[in-house]
Structure 1
């Protein structure tokens, strides 16, 4: 009897059965099996060599990309590697990089990474479990606030052996955590001992990645050189990548100056984000005329995310949803698209536009299953209407929209007195904060339309450093912002929209959303057991965000608009996540 009892207790004290593999998928199976040679979207025989020159807008004052202080140089994450790395042609799968294998049970309550024996720092010292533990602890303690949100559900981290480390998670259903920890940047413990990780630095930090800093001139340029004996060069996840011998970033004051510098041959490759420049800015480019340059829009299937005029709900002026909804009527997208954007854009009507994650029509059964328990806390329109931003005829006549806006403002207690919108004796005055002059041509017509409602919207453009500082401390009324999204949303949604992140300096919940219902929907997204549930729960979250009117949605594309001097080769396959520039190479 005692023997049977002992066996019974032993069985139930054993850890959950786990699987060990070369990678991990969020849902379903990995696309690439064990022993795969390379990703499908690379040229495994791409030649190495040459230099590529790129541009960044604004200046920089730090080589530490992991903290909230300072403005990190473009490309400053190139010298660093992570435990796992993602593929660009799956919704969310990661494969071993520093980690050779990843081991986790079915419930994903913990994960063990076994490090590759050949993984080395640039000083040739091995990467160990001590480095992994150090990286986790220092990033949570002194890193950017996003790391504290991402890793909040980690209960403990343990060194099991010289090359084995285990992360145990707090109770809860969060299948994404082993992949989130896989994205942990690994930092060298021996290098940072005696240095203050929380301070900006102009001393090139020690890394383990395919590039290291070669030369730099603060606020002007920085050059990275390929590590010739990079330990990971022949890994399946690195074959055909990191082909340039040197990558140089030059700093430019604004996008107009940068465009002229590109056409003059000062740099080589450019992702064009402005419709007017795409339509007209390259017509006089001699490189395009004589065949030395290329201009091409390359389709992709990644979610566009949300770009828009974002309200700061910390301001009493914007805490009434009727006010937020009213101001959206003053933005004339159709006229802007026709007059300013050459008809290139689609109106954004989802936080997950250009993907299957975007809410459409009315909620389906799977969505209602998560929405119904929250009905009392959500706007009624979530259940009864498909969200559509206000529309116009595109001819500049927005009087019907302004009438609708004024009705909402009057309901919220605002009245026009001597041409000014006033409530309790206070005029409706706010500032739209911009970081690039290019936004002025779009925002000034919006401000003029608001003026017809009696609202004084002051448009102010500041430099990059001041802009970042004001955003870090939420010192703004309204900004233009982009929240990027992936094909597999998860824990990052808590940092975008979660109540806990709303008051964290340097956080990503710039709108200041504090909604128990949205918090609950974020938890549902994070705990989704399969792809169908994830899609439905993300659509439900999308509806709640849209009907909260936290932003005035802008527009999106389904292509990468690229221009380059014809010195490059590129793979034949473009993955669903779009152009992967580090798979290109300089033609011999």
Structure 2
């Protein structure tokens, strides 16, 4: 995937993954206005700090950044959960608070100069900056914030779930808006409302360029207006979208923006084929490339621009330092055929990661064995201490092996191991009521063969799914791989119209409310949720609540590890592979800061054009 999509998954989908149990910047005796919130430890920067440490405050302004992405787009309405949203719209809009890539999970005031909340965290108030303005010069108002909140919940099921416990937003002062919560002591709620993307109420309620009233409940290709550093300069639906830096941006001198947004123009070109997209990068039509193909990274960069240094290659762990990854084949548990955990485990025995790693990935990956792979939240060994105490509370509702057996994926890699794994898969299917008759796996009760479709949206994942389907066919399971375009894939996953898909969950170091959207019972039937596996378990609901209401970091970590164990023991997914580094290539037309932030790469905000240095 492109960097924009990766950052959406790892950091923003990450919006849903950046928060939990905050340690507040000052004592919470009554309401205290503060400029930032840290969810792990103390804020790095004091009130009134000058800038983030990693930025170059003297970075030259100018030049063009040419980006690419796979897929298409048919709308630039940032709140609507319909259609395909254009990439890069975050450049147009501001949020109340801005996250720091220097810290695990901290955010500082952007549109809001300060945030306040009482000791019981029953509400949170944000005081807007006097200087905050929309691109048409009108001030950003509390009414805009209320409008944005209400429309986000009305039009986007995922945001409606994310903000479930935020009951209302109301104007409480000339520049003040207050969010009320329906539960107390949920420490992440002030943080997540700070992530709210703010849109202009007056613009959406006015008439458009065509003279007709605008409708925020519908997609649009009219360039939308925001308060952010860029405006939409041009739109070619499904082909390109271009953004131009606003010289009159109200927030260019705010401390959280100093040294950022240096490119004059940022353009995204959309491609239907990833290989064609790479050829455009090689030809110099794109400046930056995030490589997601291990084979291409190993063998595909033997061309002049790399050899003579015009293209630089880097392997950077920064983003992964704060992110736990689960990428997996995900069977849809809403389907009867996938309800039995023995069946789901059998599907794991048929996945030969070691052979795939050798033949497709040049041994660059490792097998995922946790829903929080690569982070300190990943479970290991057998449960102990607080983690064991939590699990004992739901002992009768979870698999007994949670207490007695460390989770391990089947090991393949040679013919003998593969045969043993496939025999075990056949045995598990038999225990689940299936029988291998000739070359077909048959349900003994119904006489129907076990067949399903693996839905993918990229040729890269198709290359992974095909050998997996071939292994399944060796034990009589008819698995077909279907490659569809981005729009069809989005629509089908939103409505859970699939047998099996591939998904990546990017977990921050501070899981919170988003866990209910991933695994909670209430999200099973809500279209647009991220509960692709169709999990509906009272025990998992208990663990999710313990994460959300963790009193301190120790309780949080114990609850997350307990959840990890129960999810693994349920065999809800077939884990795929992981590499704790971003593989990047970029032309020497781009310049990066001398020191990148520890938990990010500052791209594209903190980078600049080499041409602007001249």
My pick for the range that moved more, 508-517 or 318-327, is: 508-517
Distance in 1 between residues matched to 2:355 and 2:185, nearest whole Å: 46
Contact 1:338–1:394 (8 Å) recurs in 2? no
Match for residue 196 of structure 1? 215
Distance 1:283 1:394 in 2: 31
SS of the residue 1:21 aligns to: coil
Partner of 1:533, secondary structure, is helix
1:389 paired residue among 387, 403, 409? 409
Instruction: Work out which of the residue numbers 105, 110, 113 in structure 2 matches 1:97.
Output: 110
Give the distance between the partners of 2:551 and 2:50, measured in 1 at CA.
30
8 Å CA contact 2:70, 2:272 repeated in 1: yes
Count, aligned residues: 572
TM-score scaled by structure 1? 0.95
Check the 8 A contact 1:130/1:162 in 2, yes or no.
Answer: no
What whole-Å deviation, never above 9, does each CA across 1:15-70 have from its counterpart, x for those lacking one? 96122111112243211111211112222221111101011101111111321110
Distance in structure 1 (CA, Å) of the matches to 2:41 and 2:449: 55
d(CA) in 2 for partners of 1:394 and 1:562?
Answer: 32
The alignment partner of 1:216 has SS state of: strand
Matched, 1:71 2:84: yes
Residues 69 and 531 (structure 1), Cα distance of their counterparts in 2 relative to 1, 3 Å cut: same
- Unaligned 5+ residue runs, structure 2? 1-27, 206-212
Cα deviation, 1:113-133, whole Å, max 9, x if unaligned, reads: 100000000101000111111
- Distance (whole Å) between structure 1 residues aligned to residue 503 and residue 416 of structure 2: 25
Larger CA deviation: 101-110 vs 518-527: 101-110
CA distance in 1, matches of 2:139, 2:386: 49
Match of 1:185 among 186, 193, 197: 197
CA distance in 2 between counterparts of 1:124 and 1:305 reads 42
Secondary structure class of the residue paired with 1:111: strand
Report the counterpart of residue 228 of structure 2 in structure 1: 209
For residue 509 of structure 1, what is the aligned residue in structure 2?
531
> 1:167 aligns to what?
179
Q: In structure 2, what is the equivalent of residue 568 of structure 1?
A: 590
Report deviation, 1:396: 8.1
Within the alignment, does 1:350 sit opposite 2:370 as a pair?
A: yes
8 Å Cα contact 1:25/1:93 also seen in 2: yes
Q: Which consecutive unaligned segments of at least 5 residues does structure 1 have?
A: 1-14
- Measure the CA separation in 2 of the matches of 1:297 and 1:38: 27
Q: Are the aligned partners of 1:99 and 1:115 in contact in 2 as well (CA < 8 Å)?
A: yes
- 1:459 aligned counterpart, secondary structure: strand
Q: Is the 8 A contact 1:111 1:168 kept in 2?
A: yes
Aligned-partner Cα distance in 1 for 2:568–2:606: 37
Q: Is the 1:472–1:507 contact (alpha carbons within 8 Å) kept by the matching residues of 2? A: yes
| Partner residue, 1:106 | 119
What displacement does 1:313 show?
0.5
Give TM-score, length-normalised by structure 2.
0.91
Q: Quick one: distance in 2 between partners of 1:308 and 1:187? A: 35
Report how far residue 291 of structure 1 moved: 1.6
Which residue of 458, 461, 469 corresponds with 2:483? 461
1:549 corresponds to 2:571: yes
The C-alpha deviation readout for 1:435-490, integer Å capped at 9, x for no partner, is 11222221111111111111000111011111111111111000111111112111
CA contact (8 A) 1:43 1:583 kept: yes
Q: Is the Cα–Cα contact under 8 Å of residues 287 and 590 in structure 2 kept in the other structure?
A: no
**Which region of structure 1 is more displaced relative to structure 2, 395-404 or 473-482?**
395-404
- 2:352 touches 2:413 (CA, 8 Å); kept in 1? no
Task: Write the distance in 2 (CA, Å) between the matches of 1:561 and 1:419.
Answer: 42
**What CA RMSD, in Å, does the superposition of the two structures yield over aligned residues?**
1.4
Which residue of 1 is the match for residue 241 of structure 2? 222
- The 4+ residue runs of structure 1 with deviation greater than 4 A are 394-397
1:361-440 to 2 correspondence within 5 Å? 361-394=381-414, 398-423=418-443, 424=445, 425-440=447-462
Question: Are the equivalent residues in 1 in contact too, given 2:221–2:235 (CA < 8 A)?
Answer: no
